Amino acid sequence: MKKRILFLSDIDSAHTRKWAVSLSDRGYEVGIFSLRKSESGWFWKFPAITVYEKGGFNSGQFKKSSGSKLSYLKMLPRLRKVVKEFNPDILHAHYASSYGFLGARVGFKPYVISVWGSDVYDFPNKSFIHKSVFKYNLKQADLIFSTSEIMAKEIRKFSPKKVYITPFGIDLQVFNPFGVEGLFQKTDIVIGTIKSLEKKYGVNYLIEAFALLAQKHPDLPLKLLIVGDGDEKKNLEELVKTKKLEGQVVFAGKIKQERVPLYHNMISIYVALSIDNSESFGVATLEAMACGKPVVVSDVDGFKEVVINNETGIIVPRKDAEAAAKAIDRLITDKEFYASCSTNAVKHVRTHYNWNNNVDDIIALYNSLVHP
């Protein structure tokens, strides 16, 4: 008889989709209880995935005060009904604050929590109440998963329980080096990033660094590719105009998840310059590395865990456009170093972040709670 896993998770999160599809491919029946309705309907083609969308919530509500968090309690009757209907073997909350609170209150066992990032870095530090709720959620969990060792260290401030490392690994059948007819000429040197255009991701520092490179190398066919959308888009477009870079910078907007490997393979050097530690795990950075791209990243904890400095790329101080420009310049001008980083990047991801191995590890942990 197939095991049944009920996720409490945002339906349109790429990570939710990745876990659900992978487990369904391994023979699991997967349910997803989401506080938001899907905008994409990606799950319709997967018969082993059942989705329960409540709707009526948006991402802005997730960031409000503890008072508004009480509105989650209104979801409990609906969730209890879903649990009874789906009859899971395991309840698994992806995100330890909102969904973690719902899972903790519904009282189903065995119960697993995956901590993703801001739920441990931001939520419990807002107030004594937030910290108490967070600690309560973790206490109710039979197992606690973290995407990175750095974040596990943070979790240990709130719970004495063992934390299991379950990375958002990379599907090596999808992310690998391949040629692509893209937005650029074959001779172009494309510096790129694939991130939400929010202040914390430091895309402004990337534009500043690119401006320095363009000024230093006016003879080189340098291009900057920015993939993503967000609140900072207008400010970033204005910065590009101020730096007189309009002809060299492409804003590609938000793209579908299945097109991400194509854009990684348009890029020559991948850059991620996040400015705070809510960047708990560099998934997009690992995707770029799997595609053979050397990376330049800021020294936030999540990047320091997945990038080997001067072997798979270069780690630079955060909020330092000059340091980023210098690192990119080295990769542009030192072809031997570039080739070495490219080779090492692919090898590093294949050795440590193979998604199939990560799924095997999750299943083994599930089986420790419910024997096969």
> How many residues are given for the chain?
372
pLDDT of residue 67: 44
- Reported as half-sphere exposure (CB side, CA atoms, 13 A), residue 350 has a value of 15
Tell me which amino acid residue 172 is: L
pLDDT in tens, 156-175: 999 999 999 998 889 999 99
pLDDT of residue 69: 54
Average pLDDT estimate for 51-69: 51
**Residue 9 per-residue DSSP state:** S
Average pLDDT estimate for 277-296: 89
Q: For the whole model, what pTM was predicted?
A: 0.81
**Selection from 134, 126, 129, 87 nearest residue 108 by Cα:** 87
The two tokens of residue 227 are: 């993939």
To the nearest 10°, report the CA torsion of 57, 58, 59, 60.
-100
Taking the domains of the chain in order of start, what are their residue ranges?
A: 4-169+354-369, 189-352
- 228 Rama sector, left if φ>0, alpha if ψ -120 to 50, beta otherwise: left
The band of 181, judged by pLDDT with boundaries at 50, 70 and 90, is confident
**Residue 231 per-residue DSSP state:** T
pLDDT in tens, 201-246: 999 999 999 999 999 999 999 999 999 999 999 999 999 999 999 9
Helix H or strand E encompassing 361? helix 355-369
Cα(270)–Cα(294) distance, rounded to whole angstroms?
Answer: 6
Strands (E), the chain: 4-8, 29-34, 49-53, 90-94, 111-115, 143-146, 163-165, 189-194, 222-227, 249-253, 269-272, 295-298, 313-316
CATH tag for 4-169+354-369 (out of 3.40.50.2000, 3.10.290.10, 3.30.70.100, 2.40.160.10): 3.40.50.2000
Number of H helices, E strands in the chain: 16, 13
Cα(189)–Cα(237) distance, rounded to whole angstroms?
Answer: 21
Query: What is the CATH superfamily name and number for domain 189-352?
Result: Glycogen Phosphorylase B; (3.40.50.2000)
Q: Are 173 and 359 in contact (CB under 8 A)?
A: no
Neighbours of 144 (CB within 10 A): 23
To the nearest 10°, report the CA torsion of 205, 209, 214, 215.
110
Cα(266)–Cα(291) distance, rounded to whole angstroms?
Answer: 10
Average pLDDT estimate for 55-79: 59
Q: Are 34 and 58 in contact (CB under 8 A)?
A: no
The band of 183, judged by pLDDT with boundaries at 50, 70 and 90, is confident
> What is the per-residue DSSP string for 65-77?
-HHHHGGGGGGHH
The band of 182, judged by pLDDT with boundaries at 50, 70 and 90, is confident
Cα(112)–Cα(245) distance, rounded to whole angstroms?
Answer: 48
| Same fold yes or no, 4-169+354-369 and 189-352 | yes
pLDDT in tens, 103-129: 999 999 999 999 988 888 888 988 999
